[in-house]
Chains A and B, each alone.
Chain A
Amino acid sequence: MAGLSFPKKLLVLPVSMAKKTDFLWPRQPTWCPGCGNFLTWQTLAQTLADLGLEPAATVITYDIGCSGNMGNFLRTSAFLGLHGRAIPLAVGIKQARLDLTVLAIGGDGGFLAEGTNHLLHAARRNDDITVLLVNNHLFSLTTGQATPTTPKNLLSKTSQLFRQAQLLNALALALVSGASFVARAFVGQSNYGAILAAAIQHRGFSLVEILSPCVTFDPVYTFGWYRQHTRLLAKPLADRRQALLKAEEQTPLWTGIFYQG
């Protein structure tokens, strides 16, 4: 947790008695053994309980993909939506009900391929939702095709089609679109929950890019790789421009809160 600036509200005692287990459906997740999504699932359940939220008053919209399947394992009010459309679904819920805590969970396919525009527009409107973009670099539920984040050295089933293409950087897109909270976390890092908590507590649009290894179709970007190559920012950067520079750096790959406006 060192260096992370916490919003003061977090220190207020929880109002709900809901425990971590209240946020879990009694179902065995269907992810591959060792999938990064297990950590997001467990960490998020713990975080929601720590924040004193009620499962019924916490609404999570889910995209389609491995991360979207979390809707069947994380026990909150939920709307399991369409591919690429979890963000506008969440936007409508929040617009309709300011009393609800609203999150949208999806992958690099849903938020950076199918529904990229929704990410930019929700950011520019500063819609009060938390977007968890679980980046595993691949369309994994369709057995491993390239997404706009698939690195050149990760040879997916369709990488040959994108040799000339640039990669999309979720944080950079959110920053230039006016997002008021931008963070990145590796599922295996010790303060993952703290970053999620800060994002959920932030009033306004928040994006967390979650680096989540695909253990089946990605032999390159493994837990080990991330442990070696990620480094935690000491504190959020002073402005968007500096945040943008850091967000685009690849070595090291920075995590933590980049910008909070």
Chain B
Amino acid sequence: MLTIKIGGQAGWGIKTFGHWLLAGGQQRGNFGFLYSEYPSLIRGGHNTAMVTLDNQPVAASRWTVNILVALDELTWQKDKASLAVNGWLLGWEGMKAKRAWLLPSLWQEKIPALNWKFLFFGVLGALLEWPLAVVIKATETKGPATKWLRQGYRWGRAQKKKVPLPLGKGQSIIQSGNQAIARGAIQAGCGYAAIYPMTPVTSILHFLLAEQKKTKMIIFQPEDEIAGINAALGASYAGRRAMVATSGGGFALMTEAFGMAGISETPLVIVEGQRTGPATGMPTWTEQGDLQFVIHAAPSEFPRIVLAPGDIARAGQLTPLAFWLAEKYQLPVVLLADKFLLESWALLPRWVWPKLTWPKLVIEDDHYQRYRLTKTGISPRAIPGKTLVVANSYEHDEQGLTSEEAQDREKQMAKRLGKLTSWQLDSGVQYFGPRRAETVFVSWGSTKMPLLAALPHLPKIGVVHFEQVFPLPPMGRKLLAGRRLWLVENNLQGQFGQLLQQEWGLQFAQRLLKNNGRPFFPEEIISFARKYG
């Protein structure tokens, strides 16, 4: 396993460099994980990308770096702390490191900064002992820029110290959390997406647009999130599988219409990509701070489902399921993820999509009632056109017309809130580690990634990971019973712990919480476990 961190100014192609490493690793049969950090600006500042490559799937990138690629002095100063004891610096002459490959400062003066990424990638490729063809193909570069790649590669070849990365046998795809969700939406037959740009979900919009010719999906960039969710509910009412994607701030604007999805029983998938809040917070950083907000969002009472995928593959697989649940139970389903999951990339094994049988619509019925009372609480659904359909944000009778009668209110409330009583997601909770572990980490969402990366180092400890966080899956209670519980959350108050305490009366022996905008790294989890284990 090898972890490489590259740093430099925004606009220099730092994240691109990380992608090239993944692309090279993919050609070499490796697996990998790319996590990037960047401030909310377009030029300047300090961007980094951390790539871990290995010959087996990589759950999360490591904090400890084997090779630090510093395109500027600031990177060397800020990131040398993460360098392993025997780690190496790849930088410019003048940087004071014990173990380093230092490129001639003449090149630093002569070659424009925008081309440094080619130069350094050429060097790194040679140091990893990748063939030049792999290096060039990884960058998908043609024309003059290959000159810099070749120049770097020649220089790297001439170095005595090399860090060869062995050839692997992996067949992988390159995927980010956002891309996995976009593909999942396409897989589900989503026909409508309204997305106002917001970090960290913006690239879902880009992915969906890139595929639009094939999918014919209607993609709407609305004037604001309020328009977005209302339009998506309109599209859903009219018969298209619909989604919105936003972050906590955008979802805050959507909450009134979120309630309308509840009372009007209109299916909708909401991707909520958490970032460091509240308000504008730290826009390009991660957090799991919105859980209690999402499960309580909007006034009064209505059913909702909140799914929190733990890694990129599960984000992909849970997305069609979210659409299916929304349609089956006619309610809003939130896919609650975060910047760490959505904007990280990985070389992953291909995954299988869930097989789903979609509910049927009523085609034509002259006496159709949208909110007909049934045993399950689920009314047959129709769309306007041949059948007259009245949806209503007011409390209503079975027809859909506004009603303030006590009886209608009681019946419709019981119907809506009864829809989920018999339901639980089969895969709502997952267990990892030794079956009889006395101590388990309790996690939800993206903390699964660093936990699974740490687990091989902690032979006596298990992980109970919730990907269905609301309503809580009863299976989770069984898995937690009788064990010592360590709560892990990327927030300050342990919001999921609060929920478990409230619902199941659980207590936690220890809590590992972090709210500085950074995700957990496996190293932190290992040292925590050694301290308290």
Contact = CB atoms under 8 A, between A and B. Distances in A.
Interface in A80-96: 80-82, 85, 87-96
B226 A96 contact: no
Nearest to A77: B384
A81 B402 contact: no
Contacts of B402: 69, 71-72, 80
B223 A27 contact: no
B231 to A, nearest CB: 3
Contacts of A118: 223, 227
A71 B235 CA distance: 19
B388 A92 contact: no
A89 B389 contact: no
A55 interface: yes
A55 to B, nearest CB: 5
Contact of A93 (B235, B264, B392, B401): B235
A25 interface: yes
Interface residues of B, number: 41
Contact of B230 (A71, A76, A80, A85): A85
Contacts of A94: 234
A120 B220 CA distance: 16
B238 A88 contact: no
A99 B131 CA distance: 57
B385 A88 contact: no
B261 to A, nearest CB: 11
A85 B226 contact: yes
A1 interface: no
B237 to A, nearest CB: 5
A91 B227 contact: yes
A75 interface: yes
Nearest to B389: A77
Contacts of B236: 92, 96
Nearest to B401: A72
A166 interface: no
B393 interface: yes
A100 interface: yes
Interface in A158-189: none
A92 B260 CA distance: 15
Contacts of B393: 79-82
B387 interface: yes
Interface in B210-261: 218, 220, 222-224, 226-228, 230-240, 242, 256-257, 260
A99 B385 contact: yes
A88 B384 contact: no
A8 interface: no
Given A71-B402, A78-B390, A61 B234 contact: yes
B394 A80 contact: yes
Given A71-B402, A88-B234, A92-B234, A100 B192 contact: no
The winner among A57, A89, A93 for most chain B CB atoms within 10 A is A89
Nearest to B240: A96
Contacts of A88: 222, 226-228, 230-231, 234
Interface residues of A, number: 36
A138 interface: no
A202 interface: no
A59 interface: yes
Interface in B172-206: 191-192, 194
A121 interface: yes
Contacts of B347: none
B457 interface: no
A10 interface: no
B477 interface: no
Contacts of B237: 79, 92-93
A82 B223 contact: no
Contacts of B242: 92, 96
B386 interface: yes
Contacts of B194: 92
Given A80-B394, A118-B227, A95 B235 contact: yes
A130 to B, nearest CB: 15
Nearest to A25: B401
A118 B225 CA distance: 11
**7 cross-chain pairs, A with B, having the tightest CB-CB distances, nearest first:** A92-B234, A92-B231, A77-B384, A96-B235, A88-B227, A88-B230, A93-B234
Interface of A: 25, 27, 55-57, 59, 61, 69, 71-72, 75-82, 85, 87-97, 99-100, 117-118, 120-121
Given A69-B402, A77-B385, A78-B390, 12 more contacts: A25-B401, A71-B402, A76-B388, A78-B400, A79-B392, A85-B226, A85-B256, A88-B226, A92-B237, A93-B235, A96-B240, A97-B239
27 contacts: A25-B401, A56-B384, A57-B385, A72-B401, A76-B388, A77-B389, A79-B264, A79-B390, A79-B391, A79-B393, A81-B260, A82-B230, A82-B257, A88-B228, A90-B234, A91-B220, A92-B231, A92-B236, A92-B242, A93-B237, A93-B384, A95-B192, A96-B218, A96-B239, A97-B239, A100-B238, A118-B223
